[in-house]
Chain A
């Protein structure tokens, strides 16, 4: 594998396929995922439960549960090295060291019977070969870096003695212990109160800027996407259906699912006196991945469905600089030269 083309991108995911064996047949949990991540970038991945956003993170970490899961194809190239071909030993050296991850529920991700100091020191001893005492000193520094008051005292405490926001800071400290290039944050603030979420976001932005670290932020919340990310992937049923810079995506969404995802949730507004219109509904639910047909997976819920949508699956089409969408409407627009950008999809007639 030539490493030359990876010079700009820190991480490149190419045509990633993950299958799960289920009682009802094979589910293509990830189907042709492609994206790249640059140094210091914050990439958002957004979608409903079951769209594959967390599985993408697990695949990068080499943590797809096998069986029933299986990586069926593709490449995950980190600094020129295909991680899918890496040995278990090599993967252990990368995971938690070069690429780290923080999870949604900081209570279940921390071990209740070890002190937080031990849990932070563990990865430092493992990856950097420091003595336990030196690692604990480093743990105190890390706690200070994630703004935990009285860190010398805190390293001797157990997870249950800390608040939710404090636990998530500990998780971040563990993830940062080895100064990774990439931090994957899977819904890091979903379990936290909004004022504590704001603290965690400020911390992540500060660390990203100080260390030039890339962050993959997984969320279902378009508000979080708007606040935190630079570029966004929208996933649906195991595929990326739209990718764009964040402002472009929010101002000018192309895929009907993306516009639905933006319009179906009330957004806090500084103009409360404006008329409250009925929220746009995305009817139905995500179909079971074992029952996907040959057409577009969003077709049963889409207000713009056409005959072609059931017959075959649309591929991503470039619709602007750094903006692509996988929808037959895009192809249609190309063919007819019609300007679809002005079309107000909120009024799309729903059957």
Chain B
């Protein structure tokens, strides 16, 4: 059977978000920040799609564009068969019921002057979902779903701990029964011991309501734990995309490989390994280098990398990479040319 049920819930095609920068004047060159520069991916219903990257990679801007909170320069976003990227007015309001967002910082994303119950109820009132009495019951129900007590509706945000505040944020996002929830670094601002509570809650809610998550994070361990498919972003582009097992088992892009090796881990098998050290910082997203954007930091860069942008290739089924140096047989450069300071190499400082 083919039909809307087979279509991915979210389809993003060649999404671009460019911001004009401040320097203006008759003799000034107008420059743009290429925050998101041609990003495409699909998110099937009921799955979690992760976008991972460092600061400035464009991962949060992608999330905001999908929520229609950042200006879209080009490309399309389709949600449940409707063209979200072009919707305006009432159409946009109707689509917003289907997509909600959980923000990073539960300290600044909740109004300090509203009671918790009112915060969760607000989307129901604004979108006129159910009748007023029904909304009371729905709010109480939502509090239960996220592990808060119904009587805590009367409290203000400052009376909750960080983890509880994020639970309020989750309840608010769930209120309109959305299909898609965008989670923008939902646990980064929480204390380590609290992160597990929110991650477990998100997974339980996903099972219960068949939710679809777009999960934005800089934390590769969290992404590995919670996501089904992952896109790695670097300077506004997706450089590699694969399901979680392929990506973490055998990263193909040198950037993904370096990123994974840089993550400190207490897992016993990873301890004592050598890190790959990337030189320098990412270049500015204003003056992008020609060719591959990672070439300046890539230990395997050749002349072609500095002149020609690599095409996105599907090396293995559903495993895409944009890198000149990955062979057609799927062997990445870091497997062909071991680095002096790479894992297994002789250089680099020894572990204590």
Contacts and interface: CB of A to CB of B under 8 A. Distances in A.
Whether both chains belong to one complex is answered with yes
B221 A202 contact: no
A208 B192 CA distance: 28
Interface stretch (A21-29, A150-158, A173-181, A226-234): A226-234
Contacts of B306: none
Interface in B55-103: 55
Contact of A201 (B193, B275, B276, B281): B275
B218 A194 contact: yes
Nearest to B194: A285
B224 A261 contact: no
A163 interface: yes
A226 B271 CA distance: 7
Interface string B208-221: 00000000001011
A206 B349 contact: yes
B331 interface: no
Contact of A195 (B163, B262, B268): B262
Interface string A16-52: 0000000000000000000000000010000011000
B267 interface: yes
Given A196-B281, A223-B266, A269-B269, A278 B193 contact: no
B265 interface: yes
Nearest to A284: B161
A272 interface: yes
A225 B266 contact: yes
Nearest to A273: B245
B263 interface: yes
A228 B352 contact: yes
Contacts of B259: 194-195
B204 to A, nearest CB: 8
Interface stretch (B24-32, B174-182, B195-203, B319-327): B195-203
Contacts of A166: 281
B221 A282 contact: no
A209 B349 contact: yes
Nearest to A228: B352
A247 B266 CA distance: 9
A272 B224 contact: yes
Contact of A198 (B226, B247, B262): B262
Interface residues on A, range: 35 or more
Interface in A267-286: 267-273, 276, 278-283, 285
Nearest to A276: B225
B248 A272 contact: yes
Given A48-B191, A198-B262, A273-B245, A264 B196 contact: yes
A42 B161 CA distance: 33
Contacts of A126: none
Contact of A272 (B249, B263, B348): B249
Contacts of A65: none
Contacts of B348: 202
B244 interface: yes
A198 B192 contact: no
Given A230-B352, A272-B244, A267 B278 contact: no
Nearest to A191: B55
B344 interface: no
B200 A279 contact: yes
Contacts of A63: none
Q: Which of A163, A198, A247 has the most CB of B within 10 A?
A: A198
B260 interface: yes
A260 interface: yes
B287 to A, nearest CB: 15
A230 B352 CA distance: 6
Nearest to B248: A272
Contact of A266 (B199, B261, B268, B281): B199
B206 interface: no
Interface residues on B, range: 35 or more
A220 interface: yes
A223 B263 contact: yes
B163 A285 contact: yes
A206 to B, nearest CB: 5
B170 to A, nearest CB: 15
A261 B192 contact: yes
Nearest to A208: B352
B265 A267 contact: yes
A229 B264 CA distance: 12
Given A195-B259, A196-B281, A273-B245, A268 B270 contact: yes
A79 to B, nearest CB: 23
Nearest to A194: B262
A14 B281 CA distance: 43
B315 interface: no
A202 B275 contact: yes
B222 interface: yes
A261 to B, nearest CB: 6
B258 interface: yes
Contacts of A265: 192, 195-196, 221
A222 to B, nearest CB: 4
A261 B260 CA distance: 22
Interface string A135-172: 00000000000000000000000000001011000000
Nearest to A199: B277
B281 A269 contact: no
B54 interface: yes
Contact of B192 (A48, A193, A202, A251): A48
Query: Which 8 residue pairs are nearest across A and B when measured between Cβ atoms?
Result: A223-B264, A266-B225, A279-B196, A198-B262, A193-B54, A272-B248, A227-B264, A264-B196
Interface of B: 54-55, 161, 163, 191-197, 199-200, 203, 218, 220-222, 224-226, 244-245, 247-249, 258-271, 275-278, 281, 348-352
Interface of A: 42, 48-49, 163, 165-166, 193-199, 201-202, 205-206, 208-209, 220-230, 247, 250-251, 260-262, 264-273, 276, 278-283, 285
